[in-house]
Amino acid sequence: MIDNPVLLEERYGARNYAPLPMVLARAEGVYVWDTEGRRYLDMLGAYSAVSYGHCHPRLVAALVAQAGRMDVVSRAFRSDNLGAFLARACEMTGMDRALPMNSGTEAVETALKAARKWGHAVKGIADNSAEIIVCENNFHGRSIAITGFSSVSQYRAGFGPFPAGFACVPFGDAGALENMITPNTAAFLVEPIQGEGGVVVPPDGYLSDCAEICRANNVLLMCDEIQTGLGRTGRLLAAEHDGVRPDGLMLGKALGGGLLPVSLFLARADVMEVFTPGDHGSTFGGNPLAAVVGLEALDVLVEEGLIDRAAELGVYLRDRLSTLNSPAIVEVRGRGLLAGIELDPGRARAEEVCRVMAERGVLTKDTHRNTVRFAPPLTVERGQIDDAVGALAGALQELV
Ligand SMILES: Cc1ncc(COP(=O)(O)O)c(C=O)c1O
């Protein structure tokens, strides 16, 4: 009988991931340990899901207490903590209403459905004609609809046919958005910073220009802040850097405190009110465990001052990265504690760099544009940032 976890996963798992070889067994704060007891600094933070550090005691306590009191009951019935979670999320973000789901993908699907129904029922677009504009190089998840409007060919190849009703414009070009809008456009879906796409930061003022164009054309501005939201960029929402309040907002990842999949689609009242009972839902969305962890996560974010911390340490991280003078570095991008280091593919492959960094005790994952991404827990300290930058420098020296 096989009892090696790697062999078991290789034998019984689908091959849709290609993880690094170590097997993780324990996590605390900004560190994880493998089955051999070796410690690693986690600079990926589960793609921004572990903003509070691994196994944050307050979040674990909230989850355990709730698990011993009441588990999943479904939305067929009311539960006693969902309202408080939704209220806190709305108050903090300035949105009117929130619809709980689980994964980020589901929150985006919810936004797409809301936008289409709003387009038909409120804006007056003819039935089945509503269009949504998205950006090139986007990443919003992996459902059929979402991959259908991805510009990454691997995400689409073999998975069609895809739903119609999406148009694509270059990211960072507000004029292109304006030109693409037609009377059938219901919404514009955008990431304030493209995380998976390579930590691509648009020009200053891009989002506020888009907001103005959307307002002038009665088009909903839908911001996917699943990766950039909840303090990651040094503001509660990345849209705040441009002084923008979107009409619809998607949150996920860090909302689950690193413990559970918890996501929300939040929106203006007239957008959310298109949903009537039976239109949309999820067995697990807004379950008592998710609600209690989500509420505690929002409170921890504020009470531990993690948003300001991300702003301050983000400056430190970028300062440190700018001292690296490797010829392999093309550009350092990012905001707050979301950073991307783009490498020259002729000199170093980001995937290789991440492998060597792991050997040096620092975990992260490459992303598109041959970019090494840092998205550590917002609780990371200066000395740990120094360690991560040191491991990157060492890896570049070894490989270039
Ligand atoms: C901006 C953005 N939207 C949506 C998603 C999808 O979230 P999930 O993987 O939880 O479905 C991601 C995941 O990386 C993301 O970065």
Residue 66 main-chain phi, psi, to 5 deg: -65, -40
Q: Is the CB of 140 under 6 A from ligand 1?
A: yes
Rg (CA), the chain: 21
What's the start-to-end Cα distance of the chain, in Å? 43
In which residue ranges of the chain is pLDDT below 50?
A: none
**Do the beta carbons of residue 95 and residue 266 sit within 8 Å?**
yes
CA dist., res. 127 & res. 172, Å (int): 31
What 3-state class would DSSP assign to 195?
coil
Question: How do residues 183-208 score in pLDDT, each as one tens digit?
Answer: 999 999 999 999 999 999 999 999 99
Closest ligand 1 atom number to CA of residue 103: 10
Q: Is the CB of 242 under 6 A from ligand 1?
A: no
Q: What tokens appear for 385 in the block?
A: 């940032």
The secondary element (H helix, E strand) that includes residue 64 is helix 57-67
pLDDT at 2: 78
Closest ligand 1 atom number to CA of residue 146: 4
265 tagged catalytic: no
The secondary element (H helix, E strand) that includes residue 67 is helix 57-67
Identified catalytic residue from 42, 173, 209, 224: 224
How far, in Å, is the centroid of ligand 1 from the Cα of 64? 26
Q: Do the strands 371-374 and 365-367 form a parallel or antiparallel pair, or are they unpaired?
A: antiparallel
How far, in Å, is the centroid of ligand 1 from the Cα of 130? 24
Ligand 1, atom 7, residue with closest C-alpha: 104
Closest ligand 1 atom number to CA of residue 47: 14
Question: How do residues 296-307 score in pLDDT, each as one tens digit?
Answer: 999 999 999 999
Q: Which residues of 58-84 are buried (b: 16+ CB within 10 A; e: fewer)?
A: ebbebbeebeeeeeeeebeeebebbee
DSSP structure class, residue 202: P
127 tagged catalytic: no
How far, in Å, is the centroid of ligand 1 from the Cα of 141? 5
253 tagged catalytic: yes
What 3-state class would DSSP assign to 188?
strand
Is the overall model pTM greater than 0.95, yes or no? yes
How far, in Å, is the centroid of ligand 1 from the Cα of 37? 31
CA dist., res. 229 & res. 93, Å (int): 10
Identified catalytic residue from 42, 85, 139, 171: 139
